[in-house]
């Protein structure tokens, strides 16, 4: 009997979940399932470019865990416009666009890679975000419930409360409803 080959799973967090988990001192929860965690260059730039309550914490976490960073055309275009003295493209949604670019590449990868897009922005939940068949999107809240359901954390609500108590304005939108 042949054993089915599992495709590798890569977790791609957007800025919102990184910020929320940093506020809750819970970035390591991204590593709980044992999947590969990767950053997308535009998202890394978004969460570390300015001094914020979480930027240094996220930067250290990426370095301490040697999180690989995917290069994207979206970020290269953004950087080229900035360095060329042009008005750079609007930053809004560039992180999501860069993640979508990486996930489109996953659709063509051999072996097939399963991409999991971790998001928080309620606009993404409602948007028509093109996902290849081998990719999924999951909200921060659903991610925490997944971890709780697996027994990897005691309480998803406890993590949410920790983020809010530390100053995070956590989305009240629940996805999926």
**How many domains are there within the chain?**
1
Contact 72, 38 (CB under 8 A): no
Cα–Cα distance, 33 to 174 (Å, whole number): 22
Residue 119 lies in a domain: yes
Report pTM. Answer: 0.85
Residue 173 lies in a domain: no
Residue 177 lies in a domain: no
* CA dihedral sign of residues 111, 45, 35, 114: negative
Range of the domain at 118: 9-165
Cα–Cα distance, 30 to 35 (Å, whole number): 8
Q: What is the CATH number of the domain that holds 51?
A: 3.40.50
| Ramachandran assignment for 31, one of left (phi > 0), alpha (psi -120 to 50 degrees), beta (any other) | alpha
pLDDT for residue 60: 97
Q: What is the pLDDT along the chain (177 residues), one digit of tens a residue?
A: 444 446 789 999 999 999 999 999 999 999 999 999 999 999 999 999 999 999 999 999 999 999 999 999 989 988 888 777 666 666 667 888 898 889 888 888 777 788 899 988 655 555 556 677 788 888 898 999 999 999 999 999 999 999 999 999 876 655 554
């Amino acid at each position: 009997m042949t054993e089915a080959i599992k495709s590798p799973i890569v977790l791609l967090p957007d800025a919102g979940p990184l910020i929320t988990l940093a506020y809750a001192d819970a970035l390591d929860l991204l590593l709980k399932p044992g999947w590969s965690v990767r950053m997308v260059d535009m998202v890394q730039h978004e969460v570390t470019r300015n001094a914020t309550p979480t930027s240094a914490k996220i930067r250290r976490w990426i370095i301490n865990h040697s999180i690989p960073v995917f290069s994207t055309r979206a970020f290269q275009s953004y950087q080229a416009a900035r360095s060329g003295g042009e008005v750079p493209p609007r930053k809004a949604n560039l992180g999501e666009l860069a993640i979508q670019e990486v996930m489109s590449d996953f659709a063509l990868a051999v072996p097939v890679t399963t991409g999991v897009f971790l998001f928080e922005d309620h606009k993404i939940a409602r948007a028509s975000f093109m996902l290849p068949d081998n990719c999924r999107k999951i909200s921060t809240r659903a991610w925490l419930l997944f971890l709780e359901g697996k027994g990897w954390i005691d309480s998803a609500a406890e993590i949410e409360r920790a983020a809010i108590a530390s100053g995070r304005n956590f989305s009240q939108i629940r996805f999926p409803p």
